[in-house]
Amino acid sequence: MNLKQLLERTASEMPQNTAIVLGSQRVSYREFDETSNRVANALISLGIKRGDHVAILMSRTPEWLINCFGALKAGAAGVLLDTGAKAPDLDLQLRESDSRILITEERFSQMLSPILPDIPLMKQVLEVGSDHYSRMLAGSSPVSPSVDIEDEDEAVVFYTLGVLGKHKGIVHTHESLISALFALVPGLELESDDVVLGLVPFNYLIGFGMIVLMPTMKGATMVILPHFSSKNVLEIVERERVTMLMGVPASFNALARIEEETIKNYDVSSLRAVLSGGAKSSAYYTEILEKKFNLTVCEIYGLTELLIVTMGTVSNRKLGTAGKPLAELRVLDKSGREVPRGEVGEAVARAPWMMKEYYNSPELTAQVIKDGWFYTGDLVRMDEDGYLEYVEKMSSIIVPSGGVKILPAAVEEVLLAHPAVAETACIGVIDDYKGQIPTAFIVLKEGQSVTADEIRDFCRQSLADYKVPKQVRFIDSMPRTGSGQIDRRLLSAIKQNSQRED
């Protein structure tokens, strides 16, 4: 099966099921299928052929989904661009991805106008909502185009920093995405009557692979949340009878911090599960979330390059871990030997859902895929029961002047247990004289106050002296990537509030 067939099968079997909800806008699977066929046939009439690349730069709307599937049905690969990206990044990505058509919106036209004329292969820009676009769709056939799509054909190109910390296009095929769905869906016990609220943009792996493709496979409903706030989530859960939330830990930590009296004002009894991925969850906040909302949290560990490594399922999960392996997994030391259970090593895995390549970058691809195995650059630990704990990215390890390595996650877990701390992230701030200075960035809970010395005293109760942060910086909010993860690269440039630093 390919992604074209995935939607067509669901639309054939459950045409009246609601596929997409955004506010008062509701799209059935029949409408989803037929309108994406119109887009596909329009793209084909514009010269798009199997294997071409079509870029998508749009807000989270039903139209994003319809146009992306239209590109897939035309036999093209969708190049999924970040709406928060600036012109220089978009210029580079449109060039590198060999995109021939860009589907976008009027709000991006001013930013794009200086760069588009110089994109070598760019033949056409389609602005959704314009008169030209509307006429084009109205004159296009709603019948499925007869395009012969093979399993190994490119389906999606994600632009992300990836394992190597470089913005490169990560290519997934129809086969890699479909095989991941068959591995994921049973663990969540997802059915056609489920209502999924996604908290991540579609151009990220969790957004497209889990919030879009999994419900499409089962005929479930996707509810779009344009902007995250705890109140918005509670209101939509009540209104749409949402059964499952999908997103990153930062969003779920925010929900866990909602006062129980506030939650009682909403009917959230429909919720049964959460799928959390993209970063390590806090066992502390996860337990609170489960108790407050009476649901089960399933954590998944994967990468954009390798969609799933491990997963905690609805019926088999362990708090503080990312579940058991779904991919073939090794945990290796620096010399390439497998480490014993309970010891930390690099996760090295292989599975049918591994990326095809970094687009047009064979040298970079060869750095991470060796003899068919993907080297994640992530430190993990497998416990005696076979559950995996994600520890830290190898690149995030703090190495202070004394040379003893510090894992930020271990310090962060202690800090989150402090009653005044809402969020935290620990990094090594570079100092020309002292090298990396272990630094804790902290967002306090509303109405709370604490000093840096009090924070360090609290840490000393649980941590060795060398792990206690040398600097404590209080900030108003954490910088985040478009997917909602904390952006550690930007932390050291932030000026703290109240100018308090030690």
| pLDDT tens-digit series, residues 376-387 | 999 999 999 999
3-16+28-149 against 397-499: fold identical: no
The domain made up of 397-499 is a member of CATH 3.30.300.30: yes
Q: What DSSP element (H or E) covers 26?
A: strand 25-28
Q: What is the pLDDT of residues 398-447, one digit of tens each?
A: 767 566 678 888 899 899 999 999 999 998 887 655 668 889 999 999 89
Q: What is the DSSP string of 399-411?
A: --TT---B-HHHH
Nearest C-alpha neighbor of 480 from the set 133, 204, 140: 204
d(CA 471, CA 157): 40
What average pLDDT does the segment 82-106 reach?
Answer: 94
Q: Name the class of domain 186-394.
A: alpha beta
pLDDT at residue 9 tops 70:
yes
| pLDDT tier, 500 (very low <50, low <70, confident <90, very high otherwise) | very low
Q: How is residue 395 annotated by DSSP?
A: G
The domain locations on the chain are: 3-16+28-149, 186-394, 397-499
Which CATH fold topology does 3-16+28-149 show? Rossmann fold (3.40.50)
What average pLDDT does the segment 257-266 reach?
Answer: 95
pLDDT at residue 173, rounded to an integer: 98
| pLDDT tier, 497 (very low <50, low <70, confident <90, very high otherwise) | low
Beta-strand pair 18-22/25-28: antiparallel
pLDDT at residue 499, rounded to an integer: 39
Q: Any idea how long the chain is?
A: 502
| pLDDT tier, 480 (very low <50, low <70, confident <90, very high otherwise) | confident
pTM given for the model: 0.85
Token pair, residue 451, equals 């000093």
pLDDT at residue 16, rounded to an integer: 98
pLDDT at residue 433, rounded to an integer: 56
Nearest C-alpha neighbor of 282 from the set 258, 307, 256: 256
pLDDT at residue 342 tops 80:
yes
